[in-house]
Structure 1
Amino acid sequence: MEFAIVLGLVVLVFLAAGVVVTWEDRRAARRKAHQRAAALARLGEVDPLAPRRLADRLDR
């Protein structure tokens, strides 16, 4: 009985860690994309993928 409780808690901790890592990875990717867009805007450049991304968002 105690083994099942301990095993369940270990699985729960690993599951929570996986969720946190995934969340932070997506957050970092969004931050990097925003920084890239800001850098391009400072240079006066236009993101060549912007029209496609806008179309993708409108299709959803």
Structure 2
Amino acid sequence: MVPFEFRSGTSIRGKTRVSHQARKRLKALFHLGAMSCIRKEGELRTYYQREVAEGNTKSD
């Protein structure tokens, strides 16, 4: 899975979007799996909480 970033010209306004070339279904499945791991007690949840405490971006 390769994260293709979509930008229009040199504009830097707004958030970047996922390109049409990206595999959106695969990205959605990875996201659901990650969210499931965060909600359940275990090593991955502990890792996630530690990363958020250090100031890294929080997933919703």
TM-score by length of 2: 0.40
User: Which has the larger strand fraction?
Assistant: 2
Higher alpha-carbon Rg: 1
Between 1 and 2, higher relative CO (CA 8 Å, sep ≥ 6) is seen in 2
Relative to its length, the structure with more helix (as a share) is 1
